[in-house]
Structure 1
Amino acid sequence: MAEAVFRFERRDIDLGNWRTAPYSAWSFQNVSEMVPSAIIKGTGKAESPPNHLGDLAALVWKDAEGALVSVPDVLESTYTDAFVVMHKGRIVGEWYGPTCDPQKPHLIFSVSKSVTGLMAGILEARGAVSMDDPIIRYVPEIAGSAYADASVRNLFDMQISMDFSEDYLDKTGGYDRYRRATAWNPEKSGEGPSDLLTFLATIGKGPAEHGTLHAYRSPNTDLAGFVLERAAGQRFHEMVETLLWQPMGTHGDAAITVDRLGVGRAAGGMSVTARDLARLGDLVRVGGRGIVPKSWIDDIRTAGDKAIWAAGDQAKLFAGGAYRSYWYCPSEHELAAIGIHGQWIWIDFSRDVVIAKQSCQPLPEDAETDDLLIATFRAVAQAF
């Protein structure tokens, strides 16, 4: 692939602006230059040359206003870096943006949470962790925090009551302190460097009881990473590599950002290639292939509490949906993994379709774009 041309220099990008446009078009594929990262080794199997959209390029449907749209229209208008469609385990369509290198791992933000959810299923089947246990059994350092009286299941279903706001654009409050603890934001003068666990132990409890509301908060998954590390006796990137990444047959290396003490950011730090992201979705589609227990995937698909979802802070995303083990359940035949700035896995079990999308959308969240993409994924799936 020809080297991409950017209208800026590498020296223009630093820890203060790497997640902002236009720099994110480069930095989302070069995260290890911005934040310390640990490698998750793939099998090293060679990839075939990039494919094309094929028949999907001619697919059109009507948007919410009745106008005809096509897959290329959507991909070009939503800052897409990579788009891969699989049907019955085979890649049937691909699209890459002009600044995307298909061989490079791309940051997937909170799709990392869904990987963490799969790792929990693997470890539970091995008897290493129980969803019914209190979190404090694995991480006693959180005594006195919001997490002190919560269960591991509360943690994995985003049902923790906590005094914390998921404000991605915050520059002075709790989310900025969180980002600094993950080494994603620059340190501030007069404030010493922190680490992830030290920060998590400072989060206070909210007014509700755990297990009564869906409240999407990223620190929950970072703490889940600590739970799994303690349960497995391995660093997060090591267990992902040995228990999931290599067994499932990924081709490329992945990576995960680490904090100042070398702890992997389970909530949003993973980078993977688009094809390997699609392969991960296909592993879920076929029931885990014995790598992730089928019973765990069935639980993800069926055991999410719809009433708690409907009363939560993401209910508008999927009417009648649910959330389980860091996966979204839009309907009985669909699952989704979602990350800010436009990262997706979309699985349609009824049509054996998996879609992976990586992007550099300027805004972390964009409800209008989300609606457009969901309609697009469904239109693509219905073509099979």
Structure 2
Amino acid sequence: MGGQTAFEKRYGFARDKVLLSNWRESPFNRWAFQNVGELVPSTSFAASGGNEAPAETLGGLLGEKVAPGGEPETIEAFLRRSCTDALTVMKGGKVVGDWLAPHMGFGQRHIIFSISKSFTAVLAGILEGEGMFDPEAPVTQYIPEAKGSAYGDASCRHVLDMTVSLDFEEAYLDPESAFARYRRATLWNPGGGSESLLAFLLTLQRLAEPHGQTFRYRSPNSDMLGVLLERASGQRVSNLLREKLWQPLGAASEGAIAVDMEGTARTAGGISVTPRDMARVGEMMRQGGMANGRRIMPEAWVRDTTAAGGSHEAWQRGTMAFLFPKGRYRNKWYQTGHESGAFCGIGIHGQWLYVNPRDEVVIAKMSSQPLPVNDQLDGEIVTFLEALSRMV
């Protein structure tokens, strides 16, 4: 028998073990989350170009103690325990340092899952500022064929704030659920290709409760947002990402987004970018929509998203209030309600873009946690991110 290949030494398994049926499972996700385009159809969006500065070490900070789980441990120990693949920390607009797991290369793209929702809502804000998109308009103004679905009497605001009264459950691990059918429509699971993403969305029905009352985390809303923006602008989401966000932002590396059988972008969870570029989006939000001395999006939209807008009552009626008891959800971003004024984007399997305005800190955390959702670990990560913000 031959020795291990370089791939096996790095990841602990052979490349041919990674399949469409297991790519989100541990340990295969350590490689798959950096190489989604080899498994799921994807399209890229170009960056502005230029060389990225080399990785900066977090140095002695890694040995500092934190206690997110109650027992003191070093920052590096927590990063490893929470299956972190990459961490980038910015302070006052400057990169403080990067941390990379042995299987993650500097400048490598990584899927950000539901932080894609937050990026898509940034596009919504940009288009609203250009007079191309009305967040208060009915969904059917842009998608008339949504009339017979749950979205038939919903507004774009309901879609943006996850308050659509949608009869759908995020059953990540149930192969027989409507969620599994949704995964097939996105081509993320075996058996797809017979139903497009939009066709699936238009079959979804509503609950009896009126729209706007309860925060319900339902990913199809964010794929619907992508379709709304395409209809409003006449452009594909990948073009919008390139022209409206990525190049004006000064992103250093090309990004990518997964697409379905019709080329519809998976705006709910399909974006892959580098840790540095994800942090740049957070810094742009911290700066009120500015980057590199130019306005990317309206300041009023950013303020509404990060501090002023959203219903605390709707958030409290939802199932995630435990994470941010004083929080709110607006335009696909979470307001923590913390004294720091922190807001964030969150993705399954441990993706976090955490912005702490008081301490002028932005933290991008990419991970390959075994479970899509881990409530206890999420709480620990919030504690960790707040502690790290104070330490840098």
Q: Same fold (TM over 0.5)?
A: yes
Q: Tell me what 1:323 maps to.
A: 329
Corresponding residue number in structure 2 for 1:270:
271
Which residue of the partner structure matches residue 160 of structure 1?
A: 164
- Give how far 1:8 is off: 1.7
Q: CA deviation at 1:304?
A: 1.3
Q: Which residue matches 2:47?
A: 42
Q: List runs of 5+ in structure 1 lacking aligned partners.
A: none
Aligned to 1:364: 372
Query: What amino acid is the match of 1:336?
Result: C
Report 1:1-384 matches (<5 A).
5-65=10-70, 67-187=71-191, 193-289=194-290, 290-301=295-306, 302-331=308-337, 333-384=341-392
- The one-letter amino acid of 2:321's match is A
TM-score normalised by the chain length of structure 2: 0.94
Taking the aligned partners of 1:114 and 1:39, their CA distance within structure 2 comes to 18
* SS of aligned partner of 2:96: strand
How much does 1:58 deviate? 3.2
TM-score w.r.t. length of structure 1: 0.96
Distance 1:104 1:63, change over 3 A: closer
Partners of 1:11 and 1:62 in 2: CA distance: 39
Matches of 2:108 and 2:80, distance apart in 1 = 20
Q: RMSD of the alignment, in Å?
A: 1.3
More displaced stretch, 6-15 vs 360-369 = 6-15
Whether contact under 8 Å (1:236, 1:264) holds in the other structure is yes
Deviation for aligned residue 1:64? 4.9
User: Aligned letter for 1:200?
Assistant: L
Deviation per CA, 1:116-163: give whole Å up to 9, x if none. Answer: 111110000011111110001101121211000000000000000011
Q: Which amino acid aligns with 1:41?
A: A
- Which residue identity does 1:280 align to in structure 2? V
Separation in structure 1 between the aligned mates of residue 43 and residue 265 of structure 2, nearest angstrom:
7
Is residue 67–residue 384 contact of structure 2 (8 Å, CA) maintained in 1?
no
Segments of structure 2 that go 5 or more residues without pairing to the other structure are 1-5
Contact 2:68 2:384 in 1 (8 A): no
Cα distance in structure 2, aligned partners of 1:242 and 1:53: 33
Counting aligned pairs with the same residue, the percent is 42
Distance 1:64 1:14, change over 3 A: closer
Q: Report if aligned partners of 1:56, 1:380 keep a CA contact under 8 Å in 2.
A: no
Structure 2 residue identity aligned to 1:75: L
2: distance between equivalents of 1:370 and 1:6?
25
Q: CA deviation at 1:317?
A: 1.1
Structure 2 letter corresponding to 1:366: N
What is the DSSP-based 3-state SS (H/G/I as helix, E as strand, rest coil) of the residue aligned with 1:122? helix
Give SS of 2:256's match: strand
Q: Tell me how far apart the structure 2 counterparts of residues 349 and 70 of structure 1 sit (CA, whole Å).
A: 25
Contact 2:282 2:362 in 1 (8 A): yes
Deviation at 1:267, TM superposition (A): 0.4
After the TM superposition, list the runs of 4 or more consecutive aligned residues in structure 1 that deviate by more than 4 angstroms.
none
Rounded Cα–Cα distance in structure 2 between residues aligned with 1:166 and 1:274: 26
Shift of 1:56: 2.0
Q: Is the CA contact 1:335–1:346 (under 8 Å) kept in the aligned structure 2?
A: yes
Q: Tell me if the contact between 1:54 and 1:92 (Cα under 8 Å) persists in the aligned partners.
A: no
Q: Secondary structure at the match of 2:150?
A: coil
Answer whether contact 2:55 2:97 (CA < 8 A) is retained: no
Q: How far apart are the structure 2 equivalents of 1:63 and 1:326?
A: 26
Alpha-carbon distance between aligned partners in 1 of 2:101 and 2:124, rounded to the nearest angstrom:
34
In the alignment, the residues of structure 2 paired with residue 182 and residue 85 of structure 1 have an alpha-carbon distance, to the nearest angstrom, of: 32
What is the CA-CA distance between 1:368 and the residue it aligns to?
1.3
Structure that is richer in helix per residue: 2
Which one-letter code corresponds to 1:309 in the other structure? W
Q: Quickly say closer, same or farther: Cα 1:165–1:43, change in 2 above 3 A.
A: same
Instruction: For 1:353, give the aligned amino acid.
Output: V
Residue deviations 1:314-360 (CA, integer Å, cap 9, x gap): 11111110000000000261111000000000000011000000000
Q: Distance in 2 between matches of 1:210 and 1:63?
A: 36
The answer to whether the Cα contact below 8 Å between 1:56 and 1:93 also exists between their aligned partners in 2 is no
Aligned residue pair count: 379
